[in-house]
């Protein structure tokens, strides 16, 4: 018998397909050079299997596509807004909702609304856009994630947890009144998609509230986080993802959301809060940056697709297939002894470029080089998540030197088959076999904000 355990399978079948262009290694060498060795600057039609991101790259269901036809494109009071509001209340539990075009629109407004210049904003590792908006609002980000998160080989189940000691030390040092709020990202993208336990967010909530500090959940992949709690935390095995998600969100005062991930859409986000005054300020602010408070930069049809996406995504079988598809790729790569972040993340496999390219120093951007080489090998596109993504210290201008120097192979939801993933694993293994001849990179153009999106490189 081939199977030791019962295999999982997707809880959906394919109705529409999008043909892929096949390119040669010669072509791809030219394309990546023209793109300055930055996978963000490739044309998508030149990519064969696109694992750049799971953001906005999801396949929608027939139920969601049908919802597009029911778009109420009124400037004010669209019925799709009310459907979305009802589902956010039902599944996340927050009282008030302001839609935004995507996650960073929500981050911008909440940061401006809650951060006073000079305040600190602790968080369980940074996310690029989240930290930048906190800094632009005059805040200083402080990493309070557990130490294990910075170690790709540490196998703890909840490597996304906030270190309560670090949080308490910060409160003692600067005083609760100088902390705008604490951000809890779940799962933690930059740590490799690592989850936060229920016990941890509960304790964070208690400590924060004792000092008058708000808890803001980055709910972008909180459904995937709920799956890990169901699978790994004592007492949750018999609870549904929906129940766990709602309990988890109940330990926060507000949430920013990139609907382009968990919620199975191509565009959309929101900020949700429980505090009436904060809501009123956000509702007023949204008209400056995004659009009226009943559409927030989205078409009515997009809000409908997101409202329906919440209902679908939260089903247990959906999240199980999602996370297990990522693990399928991880397990294949393990057979080739590829260095990766463990445990596997919910949305992506993260290759450990420091161990992959031991001979390339971090100052020569090994993860950036690996992402480029993987593309040339097979047309598989991943993303750098290391020193380039980490950027510079806002005070000193020095490059941040993160412990984690990673290439992310991110799984769009419901898009690729196991055969695609077999090919990805094969290509990574081939690049690994040829690792000794790989060269580092030199940055030749560096944009001021979020440099990883547009920076240019050449080989050294």
Of residues 131, 261, 342, 381, which has the active-site annotation?
Answer: 261
By CB under 6 A, name the one of 239, 260, 354, 413 that touches ligand F0G.
260
CA neighbours closer than 13 Å in the CB half-sphere of residue 51: 32
Distance, CA of 110 to CA of 116 (rounded, Å): 11
Min dist CB 375 to ligand F0G, Å, is 16
By CB under 6 A, name the one of 108, 119, 130, 161 that touches ligand F0G.
130
Min dist CB 55 to ligand F0G, Å, is 4
Q: Does 373 bind ligand F0G (CB under 6 A)?
A: no
Stretch that binds ligand F0G, among 80-88, 102-110, 426-434, 440-448 (CB under 6 A): 102-110
Residue 402 CB neighbours (<10 A)? 20
By CB under 6 A, name the one of 67, 99, 103, 366 that touches ligand F0G.
103
Min dist CB 136 to ligand F0G, Å, is 14
Q: Is 3 part of the annotated catalytic residue set? A: no
Stretch that binds ligand F0G, among 123-131, 273-281, 307-315, 429-437 (CB under 6 A): 123-131
How do strand 96-100 and strand 269-273 relate by DSSP bridges? antiparallel
Distance, CA of 401 to CA of 405 (rounded, Å): 9
Q: Does 133 bind ligand F0G (CB under 6 A)?
A: no
CA neighbours closer than 13 Å in the CB half-sphere of residue 458: 3
Cβ atoms of residues 306 and 261 within 8 Å: no
Min dist CB 335 to ligand F0G, Å, is 27
Q: Where are the beta strands (DSSP E) in 157-253?
A: 181-185, 214-218
- The DSSP call for residue 409 is E
- Residues in a beta bridge with 217: 184, 255
Q: Is 261 part of the annotated catalytic residue set? A: yes
Taking alpha carbons only, the member of 382, 368, 366, 361 closest to residue 428 is 382
205 vs 258, beta carbon nearer ligand F0G = 258
Q: Is 202 part of the annotated catalytic residue set? A: no
Residue nearest to ligand F0G (CB): 103
Min dist CB 187 to ligand F0G, Å, is 8
Min dist CB 52 to ligand F0G, Å, is 7
Stretch that binds ligand F0G, among 6-14, 38-46, 100-108, 357-365 (CB under 6 A): 100-108
Q: Does 270 bind ligand F0G (CB under 6 A)?
A: no
Cβ atoms of residues 352 and 152 within 8 Å: yes
How do strand 120-123 and strand 140-143 relate by DSSP bridges? parallel
Taking alpha carbons only, the member of 308, 219, 230 closest to residue 262 is 219
Residue 16 CB neighbours (<10 A)? 8
Of residues 385, 408, 413, 451, which has the active-site annotation?
Answer: 385
Q: Does 111 bind ligand F0G (CB under 6 A)?
A: no
In this structure, what token pair is assigned to residue 226?
Answer: 């709920």
Taking alpha carbons only, the member of 201, 225, 228 closest to residue 215 is 201
225 vs 230, beta carbon nearer ligand F0G = 225
Alpha helical stretches, state H, 315-383: 316-335, 353-356, 366-378
Locate tokens 């750098």: which residue? 384
Interacting residues with ligand F0G between 182 and 211 (CB under 6 A): 185, 189
Q: How many helices (H) and strands (E) does the chain have?
A: 16, 14
Q: Is 439 part of the annotated catalytic residue set? A: no
Of residues 75, 336, 449, 453, which has the active-site annotation?
Answer: 75
Taking alpha carbons only, the member of 108, 123, 119 closest to residue 282 is 108
By CB under 6 A, name the one of 218, 281, 290, 302 that touches ligand F0G.
218
Stretch that binds ligand F0G, among 99-107, 172-180, 334-342, 443-451 (CB under 6 A): 99-107
Q: Is 218 part of the annotated catalytic residue set? A: yes
3-state secondary structure of 79: helix
Q: Is 127 part of the annotated catalytic residue set? A: yes
64 vs 102, beta carbon nearer ligand F0G = 102
By CB under 6 A, name the one of 87, 129, 200, 427 that touches ligand F0G.
129
DSSP line for 134-145: HHHTT-EEEE-B
DSSP 3-state percent helix, strand, coil across the chain (nearest 5): 45, 15, 40
Q: Is 75 part of the annotated catalytic residue set? A: yes
Interacting residues with ligand F0G between 23 and 62 (CB under 6 A): 53, 55
By CB under 6 A, name the one of 87, 124, 220, 378 that touches ligand F0G.
220
Active site residues: 75, 127-128, 218, 261, 385, 452
Given the rule CB under 6 A, which residues bind ligand F0G? 53, 55, 102-104, 127, 129-130, 185, 189, 218, 220, 258, 260, 269
């Amino acid at each position: 018998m081939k199977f030791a355990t019962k295999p999982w399978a997707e809880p959906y079948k394919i109705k529409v397909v999008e043909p892929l262009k096949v390119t040669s290694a010669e072509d791809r060498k030219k394309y990546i050079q023209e793109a300055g060795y930055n996978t963000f600057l490739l044309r998508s039609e030149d990519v064969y299997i696109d694992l750049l991101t799971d953001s906005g790259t999801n396949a929608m269901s027939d139920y969601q596509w049908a919802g597009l036809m029911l778009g109420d494109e009124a400037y004010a009071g669209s019925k799709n807004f009310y459907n979305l509001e009802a589902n956010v209340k039902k599944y996340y539990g927050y009282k008030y909702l302001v839609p935004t075009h995507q996650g960073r629109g929500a981050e911008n407004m909440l940061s401006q609304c809650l951060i006073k210049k000079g305040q600190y904003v602790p968080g369980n590792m940074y996310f690029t856009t989240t930290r930048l908006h906190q800094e632009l609002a005059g805040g200083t980000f402080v990493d309070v994630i557990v130490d294990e998160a910075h170690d790709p080989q540490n196998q703890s189940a909840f490597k996304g947890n906030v270190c309560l000691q670090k949080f308490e030390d910060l409160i003692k040092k600067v005083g609760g009144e100088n902390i705008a709020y604490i951000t809890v990202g779940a799962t933690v993208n930059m740590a490799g998609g690592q989850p936060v336990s229920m016990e941890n967010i509960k304790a964070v909530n208690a400590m924060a509230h004792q000092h008058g500090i708000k808890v803001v959940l980055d709910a972008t992949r909180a459904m995937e986080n709920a799956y890990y709690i169901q699978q790994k935390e004592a007492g949750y095995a018999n609870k549904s993802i929906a129940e766990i998600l709602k309990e988890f969100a109940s330990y926060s005062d507000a949430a920013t959301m990139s609907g382009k991930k968990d919620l199975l859409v191509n565009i959309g986000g929101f900020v949700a809060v429980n505090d009436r005054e904060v809501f009123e300020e956000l509702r007023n602010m949204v008209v400056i940056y995004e659009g009226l408070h009943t559409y927030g930069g989205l078409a009515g049809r997009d809000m409908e697709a997101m409202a329906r996406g919440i209902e679908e995504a939260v089903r247990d079988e959906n999240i199980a297939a999602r996370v297990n598809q990522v693990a399928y790729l991880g397990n294949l790569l393990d057979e080739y002894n590829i260095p990766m972040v463990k445990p596997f993340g919910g949305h992506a496999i993260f290759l450990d470029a420091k161990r992959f390219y031991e001979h390339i120093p971090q100052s020569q951007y090994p993860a950036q080089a690996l992402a480029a080489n993987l593309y040339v090998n097979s047309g598989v596109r991943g993303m750098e998540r290391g020193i380039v993504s980490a950027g510079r210290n806002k005070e000193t201008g020095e490059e941040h030197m993160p412990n984690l120097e990673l290439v992310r192979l991110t799984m769009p939801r419901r898009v690729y088959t196991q055969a695609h993933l077999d090919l990805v694993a094969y290509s990574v293994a081939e690049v690994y076999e040829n690792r000794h001849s790989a060269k580092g990179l030199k940055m030749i153009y560096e944009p001021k904000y979020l440099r990883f999106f547009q920076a240019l490189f050449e080989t050294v």
